[in-house]
A = this chain, B = another copy of it.
Amino acid sequence: MTQRKERADALRNREAVLAAADDLFARSQSPRSVSMDDVAAAAGVGKGTLFRRFGDRTGLIQALVEARIEPLRQAVETGPAPLGPAGPPRERVLAVLDAVLRFKLDNRHLSLALEEAGSGSPYQAGHYVWWHRTLRDTLLKIPGIPDGDFTAHALLAATRADLVEYLAGQGGMTADDMSARLANYTAKILD
């Protein structure tokens, strides 16, 4: 039942791949321009190894995002207010949405890659479901929000990676500006 210990070379290679992929995505113009061959080459590893470790392209990207998002997840799940579960729900909704937005801004390429990696919609991905549930549950604690489920979807939609990318890129909108606008918008919903 207990997992055999991971071999040292396997561990080393896995980290090399993650580091190389992270770097490649960060430098790339569009996630599409980063091929699995590129990642393998940059990591100094064979393709077989790459796919053995991560299953497929989506798996690799998920692992990458997972690593980056973990601290935020912790902060939301067990951290202090306003992000954590303890504070007043209204503030928490605002804090969570802001955190999501800033995460996507700070990790534009990766978030973009994750969204379009979709074998199917992003809405089935584990991380989305988790964000949605968290947000919905928090919304439901606020009186006068009739439809937490849909509202959570709609609010999260306003932070979609490609929209954020577009506003930051073409629109030349700064992070703080976008954050403020999103907060305003959300506030209307929470009146």
Contacts and interface: CB of A to CB of B under 8 A. Distances in A.
Is the contact region of chain A dominated by helix, strand, or loop, or is it mixed?
A: helix
Contacts of A146: 184
Interface in A96-125: 116, 118, 120-124
Interface in A135-153: 146-147, 150-151, 153
Interface residues of A, number: 31
Number of this chain's copies in the complex: 2
B121 A165 contact: yes
B166 A121 contact: yes
A160 to B, nearest CB: 6
B185 A147 contact: yes
B185 A124 contact: no
